[in-house]
Structure 1
Amino acid sequence: MDELQQRIVGSFAAQGLMATLGARLALVQDGEVHIEMPFSPALSQQYGYVHAGAVTSIVDSACGYAALTQAPPGHEVVTAEFKTNFMRPAIGRRFVAVGKVHSAGRMLAVCTGEVRAFADEGGDYKVVALMQATVVFVQR
């Protein structure tokens, strides 16, 4: 694992919310990060779907960590804004948030993310949410 991946793994491990959600890093590479979260009744809303807050949390973090892979040296990241479209109810056994950087400059990155719902262990999924996010690079 290279230094950047170690930094992201360490930062992710320090997030209490990700631990509460049962989320884990599934992929870290330049400009792209995947975060996986299992279904839990504790994360559901009144109809039994995974709550939008949990879905949004994992995709926001995936976008933020994707941006961190392209941040200038000595910088961290914070989300400045995001918009999420929910495509369908979040029904599945596990969910994977995919964050990707589309443009990174000196001060900010524009990212997109999607949350995929997997009904079983196979590779078939349905996209349940799409995000567009602006992530700001802040000097440590």
Structure 2
Amino acid sequence: MVTLRTPDPLLDRIETLFDRQNFAALLGMRLALVEPGRVIIEMPPDRKLTQQHGALHAGATTSLADTAAGFAALTMMPEGADVMSVEFKINLMAPGKGSHFRADARVLRAGRTITTVEARAQARGDDGTWADYATFLGTMICLRPRTA
């Protein structure tokens, strides 16, 4: 059975750019939600991404949150624009342990050039609920196509 969906230009644009993220693919990330100003990216657990205590490595957590934040910012940018991180801060509040991981990113303020985004890295527990284990605050820059 073929499932048809209503065309969504924002989702199509974000999916196209997300599919070019080789590093995100390496970590097993996938888009779970895309809406203006908000993106959720999920990632399955992988033993190769853990640190010596069995928790998700801080680098993997940071990559997950940064990727979600960048795409959330991109949803507020004009067609043809791209995005890049300028700076960010992450607070690791607890070990990243769970049956699945995700980052829920929301735009706090979208400007013409600079966008501020927050993300919550979450782990799904055995009971199926999501718990925050890291917070991320980032600044993203809008990269506009060069005109000749």
TM-score surpassing 0.5?
yes
1:135 equivalent to 2:137? Answer no
CA RMSD between the two structures: 1.1
Higher strand share: 1
Percent identical pairs in the alignment equals 42
1:107 equivalent to 2:130? Answer no
1:76 equivalent to 2:59? Answer no
Matched residues in 2 for 1:23 and 1:105: separation?
27
1:37·1:94 contact (CA, 8 Å) conserved in 2?
yes
Which residue in the other structure is 2:62 paired with?
56
After TM superposition, the runs of 4+ consecutive aligned structure 1 residues lying more than 6 A away are none
1:37 to 40, 43, 47: 43
Unaligned runs of 5+ in 1: none
Shift of 1:80: 0.3
1:8 to 10, 14, 21: 14
Paired residue type of 1:130 = T
Q: Please report the TM-score for the alignment, with normalisation by the length of structure 1.
A: 0.95
Q: Please report the TM-score for the alignment, with normalisation by the length of structure 2.
A: 0.90
Unaligned runs of 5+ in 2: 1-6
Q: Rg: which structure is higher?
A: 2
Matched residues in 1 for 2:120 and 2:73: separation?
15
Which residue in the other structure is 2:3 paired with?
none
1:20 to 19, 26, 41: 26
1:72·1:106 contact (CA, 8 Å) conserved in 2?
no
Question: C-alpha deviations, 1:20-50, integer Å up to 9, x for none?
Answer: 1111100000000000011110111111111
